Homo-oligomer: A and B are copies of this chain.
Amino acid sequence: MVTVLTDPDIAERLDARSAVGWMREAVLAAHSGALHTPPRVSTELGDGRLVFTTGALTGEWYGYRSYDSFSFEPGAQLVVVHDWHTGAVRGLAVGNELGPRRVGAIGAVAVDALAAPTAGSLGLVGTGTQAWNQLWAISTVRSLTSVSVFSRDPVRRNAFVARVSADLGLPVAAADWAREAIEGKDLVVLATNSPVPVVEASWIAPGSYVTTLGPKQIGRAEFGPDLVARADVAVTDSVAQTSAYDPPFILTGTEQHDRLTSLGAVLAGEAPGRTSADQTVIFCSVGLAGTETYLLARLLG
């Protein structure tokens, strides 16, 4: 018997608070070197690629996530956990639920470490899976007093607002413009696929916190160099993964890149993070490799 979790299983069994705790552990384990997260590998198969991100927690488990770049949307992903000592498969997840849950949980770990303890208002651009999962997780580390959501399609936007209200019980409203959603908010979440900026630096208040989930390459990014210049603190869950971007990571060649800090170093107390209440933080979420497998390993118990 092999345990196989499908998307409904993950949605039912994984609670946000546990996910955030486990992703905190994972980020720290990657930072200490206990969690091996080698660069991903891929093969070309004609019309698309198969991609593998692997991970191992020495003495506990090893495993991987597989996904593809064929044109189907979304192709099912696999996450596999092997027992370290026997090599047996402890369990599998088949589907697309685990990936964004883990990105959401890492996002919440970052908010908890880097945003103002009193942060309560949240502005969100984007209404996709990543957007939903950020709210799912962040709502466990901050008391969200208002959530304002913008996306280009009013139908999707209203459906998203209704779902967030029903599923997460958050005080949420749709905004007619990105600026209306974002301006002056304590927490800003950018979760778009936009290759051009959806935000202006002037909308970001001193002391606020911005997470970027979407494109962040030079010439293809959901925010511009003005926001980069505006940030006092720049943090990412994987410096190594930002270095592998092609075209380069948008912070490359800027003052922020020289100061780019890993979330693991902040959690370990080895890097300062946010040091005063008026500092503006940008968190560049790249999806630390190995964390899907970590999450499944913990969920399997």
Chain A residues within 8 Å of B, Cβ to Cβ: 1-2, 4, 6, 36, 38-48, 50, 52, 54-56, 58, 62, 64, 66, 68, 70, 72, 74-76, 78, 80, 82, 84-89, 92, 94
**Nearest CB of B to A258, in Å:** 30
Q: In the bound complex, what is the Cα–Cα distance between A204 and B4 (angstroms)?
A: 50
Inter-chain contacts of A43 with B (CB < 8 A)? 38-41, 52, 54
Flag if A44 contacts B52 (CB, 8 Å).
no
CA distance A92 to B93 in the complex (A): 12
- Having A52-B52, A72-B87, one finds 17 other A-B pairs with CB under 8 Å, namely A4-B92, A36-B45, A40-B43, A41-B41, A41-B42, A43-B52, A43-B54, A45-B54, A46-B56, A47-B58, A48-B62, A50-B54, A50-B62, A66-B80, A70-B84, A76-B88, A78-B92
Shortest distance between the CB of A254 and any CB in chain B (Å): 31
Q: Which of A54, A72, A87, A88 has the most CB of B within 10 A?
A: A87
Contact of A78 with B75 at beta-carbon distance under 8 Å, contacts A38-B45, A62-B48 already known: no
**Shortest distance in angstroms between A5's beta carbon and chain B's nearest beta carbon?**
10
How distant is the Cα of A47 from the Cα of B47 in the complex, in angstroms?
A: 34
> How far in angstroms is the closest Cβ of chain B from A50?
5
Tell which of A40, A66, A84 has the most Cβ of chain B within 10 Å: A66
Cβ contact within 8 Å between B68 and A66: no
| Cα–Cα distance between A169 and B213 once the two chains are bound (Å) | 62
Bound-complex Cα distance A64 to B66 (A): 9
- Cβ contacts under 8 Å, A6 to chain B: 1-2
Contact check: which of B45, B66, B72, B92 meets A85 at CB < 8 Å?
B72
CA distance A70 to B58 in the complex (A): 12
Chain B residues whose C-beta falls within 8 Å of the C-beta of A74 in the assembled complex: 87
Contact partner of A45 (CB less than 8 A), chosen from B50, B55, B75, B92, is: B55
User: Does B89 contact A78, Cβ atoms closer than 8 Å?
Assistant: yes
**Given A45-B54, A46-B58, A75-B82, residue A94 in contact with residue B87 (CB < 8 A):** no
Residues of B within 8 A of A82 (CB): 68, 75-76
Instruction: Tell me the smallest distance from the CB of A72 to a CB of chain B, in Å.
Output: 4
Question: Which residues on the B side are within 8 Å of A46 (C-beta)?
Answer: 36, 56, 58
CB pairs A–B below 8 angstroms (13 shown): A36-B45, A43-B54, A50-B64, A64-B66, A66-B66, A66-B80, A68-B82, A70-B84, A70-B87, A75-B87, A75-B88, A78-B78, A78-B80
Q: Given A62-B70, A76-B82, check contact A38 B44 (CB 8 Å).
A: yes
A42 vs B62: C-alpha distance when bound (angstroms) = 13
